[in-house]
Amino acid sequence: MQYGKLTTWLMPLLAITLAGCSGSGSTSTNPSNGGSNTGNLEKLSMTAPSAFPAGVAASVPVVVTNNDSTTINNLNYAIDSASNTTGATITFESSSAASCRIISPKASCTLMADIAVTPASHPGSFNIATSQGAVASASKGVTASSVLSVDVNIGLVQSASNTSSGADGLSLYYPSSVVGNADGSTQVMVTAVVSSANAGSFNTIELVDGIVNL
């Protein structure tokens, strides 16, 4: 169906855009594997979509933020196979894993988790775990040594469909509750899904509150 193509294009685009608005800073452009660990893993946070549609190939963005005043290095990312109840094969985009290997103070990067088209995923969830230590290949996300770890859970759900047009043809997924960081900042990721063949095309989507403030 035509709107299925719109769905897989729009979801990651919107999620990345909204997450980018809440982050700041930059990551190292020359990540390296090895050397002694720097930074504080306890000051690392991860922001991910609260839900993503099941049954389609997708790239799920996860924003990793270093809330510390010191650069953190030797970061490894792994899909916790014991937690994966989606039936899908999930891997990391190698370039995003490499760019998130080192994160500067008060900076963020975007890690992309790719859900393969086959076997098709079904409703469930999976964990992305982050640890610190030397690793042979950052793209594989194989952890070698860590004392602490940070993880985030992402749920895949059965997406509802309708026949509405325009913005009413979109479904939004977002957390039911939001907890602010110690410094007062808050990161929230909102995912928009085209759930109607009559929704049309969207170049810009603006989120507003109950009194139409952006």
Residue 63 located in a structural domain:
yes
Residue 15 pLDDT more than 50?
no
Instruction: Provide the sign of the torsion angle of the four alpha carbons 195, 196, 201, 203, taken in this order.
Output: negative
Question: What CA–CA distance (Å, rounded) separates 152 from 125?
Answer: 10
Residue 200 located in a structural domain:
no
Which residues of 4-121 form beta strands (DSSP E)? 44-47, 51-53, 58-66, 75-80, 90-92, 108-115
Residue with tokens 């270093």: 66
Residue 95 located in a structural domain:
yes
CATH number at residue 61: 2.60.40.10
Which pLDDT tens digit goes with each residue over 54-111?
A: 998 999 999 999 999 999 999 999 988 888 999 999 999 999 999 999 999 999 999 9
Question: What CA–CA distance (Å, rounded) separates 156 from 176?
Answer: 16
The residues near 20 (Cβ < 8 Å, ≥ 6 apart) are 63, 110
pLDDT of residue 135: 57
Lowest mean pLDDT among 33-42, 49-58, 137-146: 137-146
Instruction: Provide the sign of the torsion angle of the four alpha carbons 42, 29, 111, 90, taken in this order.
Output: negative
The closest alpha carbon to 81, from 91, 93, 94, 67, belongs to: 91
Structurally, the chain folds into a number of domains equal to: 1
Residue 112 located in a structural domain:
yes
Residue 181 located in a structural domain:
yes
pLDDT of residue 208: 77
pLDDT of residue 34: 53
Cβ contact 159:171 at 8 Å: yes
39-57: average pLDDT: 89
Residue 82 located in a structural domain:
yes
Lowest mean pLDDT among 39-48, 75-84, 201-210: 201-210
Residue 11 located in a structural domain:
yes
Phi first, then psi, for residue 154 (nearest 5°) are -120, 130
Residue 116 pLDDT more than 80?
yes
Residue 9 pLDDT more than 80?
no
Across 17-31, 56-70, 150-164, 192-206, the highest mean pLDDT is recorded for 56-70
The closest alpha carbon to 11, from 58, 62, 63, belongs to: 58
Residue 118 pLDDT more than 70?
yes
Residue 174 located in a structural domain:
yes
Q: 180: domain range? A: 2-194
